[in-house]
Amino acid sequence: MLQSLNARAMLVSIGFLVLVLGVWEFANPAPDASKPLTEYEILMGGADQEARVPPPSAVIIRAFEELSNPFYDAGPNDKGIGIQLAYSIYRVLTGFMLAALLAIPVGFLIGMSPLMYKALNPFIQVLRPISPLAWMPLALFIIKDSETSSIFVIFICSIWPMLINTAFGVAGVRRDWVNVARTHELSPLRTALTVILPAAAPTVLTGMRISIGIAWLVIVAAEMLVGGTGIGYYVWNEWNNLDLTSVIFSILMIGVVGMLLDLALSAATRLVQYEE
Amino acid sequence: MIKHFLEIENLARRFPGKDGELTVFENANFGIDKGEFVCIIGHSGCGKSTIMNVLAGLDAPTDGNVFMDGSEVAGPSLDRGVVFQNYSLLPWLSAVHNVTFAVRSRWPGWNKEQVREHSYRYLEMVGLGGGAELRKPAQLSGGMRQRVSIARAFAIQPKLLLLDEPFGALDALTRGTIQDELVKICNATHQTVFMITHDVDEAILLADRILLMTNGPHARIAESVKVDLKHPRERGKIIHDPGYYPIRNHLVDFLVRRSEELSGAVTPETPAQAAGAYPVEVNPAATARNETGGATLSAIDAR
């Protein structure tokens, strides 16, 4: 029989999926089309007939259409889902990398120097709780480019978890290991690279994983705001088109891509993980 | 005064506390000669590890100086190898890389093959090989980890080896085997060693001289006990040596009774411990021999 826990869990998952999709499909039937249309409905072109949350079957059909041709480009308001996701991923990765370049060295500094920790802590505490979107007007004014502004918003929201985790990881490196570096007369740079960096790496990677999760949440909102391209813009554009099927499809795609980003970072974390 | 290889003068370490200073130990004076194996014994909290950290250069003394080979000890150096009680291996490196890490910092100019060859020689010396050296410390037993740590310390060929209760966390059987190996290695290399221990038998097996510390605070080194037993020593045979039990009894008596009686700050009643004085030298084995007469003396005193 099904001995494996994984196999049983998968079976239960499929069961839940079928149940939820079934309820969704049948709980919300289309309005009866056999009734004659009222005058208002005739005026509105019978649009009300489909004014309901689209059933999963419609979403699956749409997903199939979109995914079979993800990279078409038929003008500014009609691009394939692949192109839109690629724009968003590009922005997230650019902002995230820039943030890592700043946050990891500064986190090292804060973690190694109690003075810098105390000096920079008030700034971090004030800047960290600011919603990244609150920076958007300022960014648009200063940068004067919507594309770069959305990268900046990703940059600013990615900094904090990486900065704090790096500082925490570096400050928490076991005294013994630092003593090993000292008794072997390692230079400060070599100590940082060969002892502190590998010792703090799992904590740093955890910070990066949290950051990329937040960045992916924020990019959707940022793109709804600045428009043009990207998955956030796509969602908002389809809402303006009243195409709820596409909206639901893109929501699912956002989830899938977010999951893949998280899996990539968790695989990277496993590479640097060590057992004490 | 004869100058020793390692010279400790009027060493004291005080920590600032809530109500004034806390003196961990003071008036520590002793010397270690080249090739000598010296153990230090005392109760927990008497500052043995603090002395060790000062010798390693990881901690600075409040008063006093440490001279090694004519120059003052200030800060850590590759001339002094340290084996910590908790092994202090870097957990993300395999056993062999923990050793090459040390070898590379000792001889930065060496090429890969030299470093590898040198590291493997020392790993083999402590009995590690056959694939175990490729494992991470977490996949090794406590005894194996301590072997790696010892190999790492010996591999940099330090002038002085500092061992901080190296076998404290090991079970009795493992401890015995590693002790035997340490005896062998020390006999072969004539390494100068300073070792902290809690274990009286271990100290007698390994040491040429045992320093006894009184209880803290205000701990001091009260006596220097000569272990007058011939080398090479073996764990199984040493207990049959007539000199063994006099030494052991002396040490146990000190730990149980006199370390407490002698504790506290130096007073006029303890003139022998005035500043700058060396600890009292005793040789229980020789005393016992003299008491039992010359007949056994010639049989024992082969050294």
Q: Is residue B128 part of a domain?
A: no
Q: With beta carbons under 8 A apart, name residues in chain A contacting B83.
A: none
- Looking at residue A132, its pLDDT comes to 93
More confident of the two residues A96 and B222: A96
E strand or H helix at B117, and its extent?
helix B112-125
Tell me the pLDDT of chain A averaged across its residues: 90
Query: Which residue of B52, B55, B80, B90 to mutate against A (max A Cβ within 10 Å)?
Result: B90
Q: Is B91 on the interface with A (CB under 8 A)?
A: yes
Q: Which residue of B has its CA nearest to A177?
A: B88
Q: What is the largest CA-CA distance in chain A?
A: 90
- Looking at residue A45, its pLDDT comes to 61
In this complex, do B86 and A186 lie within 8 Å of one another by their Cβ atoms? no
Q: Is B60 on the interface with A (CB under 8 A)?
A: no
Query: Which residue of B55, B79, B88, B92 to mutate against A (max A Cβ within 10 Å)?
Result: B92
The span from the CA of A148 to the CA of A154, in Å, is 10
The span from the CA of A259 to the CA of B70, in Å, is 64
Q: With beta carbons under 8 A apart, name residues in chain B contacting A176.
A: 84, 86, 88
Q: Confidence class of residue A41 from pLDDT cuts 50, 70 and 90?
A: low
Q: Is residue B144 part of a domain?
A: no
Q: With beta carbons under 8 A apart, name residues in chain B contacting A272.
A: 92
SS3 letters across A54-112: CCHHHHHHHHHHHHHCCCCECCCCCECHHHHHHHHHHHHHHHHHHHHHHHHHHHHHHHH
The closest of A78, A77, A99 to A156, measured between CA atoms, is A99
Q: Is residue B25 part of a domain?
A: yes
More confident of the two residues B148 and B86: B148
Contact call for residues A133 and A222 (beta carbons, < 8 A): yes
Q: Is residue B171 part of a domain?
A: no
Domain total of chain B: 1
Of B80, B88, B136, nearest to A179 by CB-CB distance is B88
DSSP label at residue B274: -
- Between strands B6-16 and B21-32, the pairing is antiparallel
- Looking at residue B129, its pLDDT comes to 82
DSSP label at residue A128: T
The span from the CA of B146 to the CA of B17, in Å, is 35
- What's the sign of the alpha-carbon dihedral B214, B219, B224, B227? positive
Whether the predicted pLDDT of A256 surpasses 80: yes
Q: With beta carbons under 8 A apart, name residues in chain A contacting B139.
A: 275
Whether the predicted pLDDT of B269 surpasses 70: no
Q: Is residue B145 part of a domain?
A: no
In this complex, do A276 and B91 lie within 8 Å of one another by their Cβ atoms? yes
Of B84, B102, B138, nearest to A184 by CB-CB distance is B102
pLDDT in tens, B200-216: 999 999 999 999 988 87
pLDDT in tens, A11-28: 999 999 999 999 998 887
Q: Is B65 on the interface with A (CB under 8 A)?
A: no
Where are chain A's structural domains? 53-272
Q: With beta carbons under 8 A apart, name residues in chain B contacting A177.
A: 88, 90
Percentage of chain A beyond pLDDT 70 is 92
> Is 3.40.120.10 the CATH number for A53-272?
no
Q: Is residue B244 part of a domain?
A: yes
The span from the CA of A186 to the CA of A179, in Å, is 10
Of A182, A190, A275, nearest to B58 by CB-CB distance is A182
Range of lowest pLDDT (A20-34, A38-52, A62-76): A38-52
Question: Residue B28: which domain range?
Answer: 1-70+193-269+284-303
What average pLDDT does the segment B31-59 reach? Answer: 89
Query: Is residue B107 exposed (0-12), middle (13-18) or buried (19+ Cβ within 10 Å)?
Result: middle
pLDDT in tens, A163-220: 999 999 999 999 999 999 999 999 999 999 999 999 999 999 999 999 999 999 999 9
CATH of the domain at B225: 3.40.50.300
- Looking at residue B135, its pLDDT comes to 93
Q: What is the DSSP string of B207-260?
A: -SEEEEEPPSSSB-EEEEEE---PSSP-HHHHTTSTTHHHHHHHHHHIIIIIHH
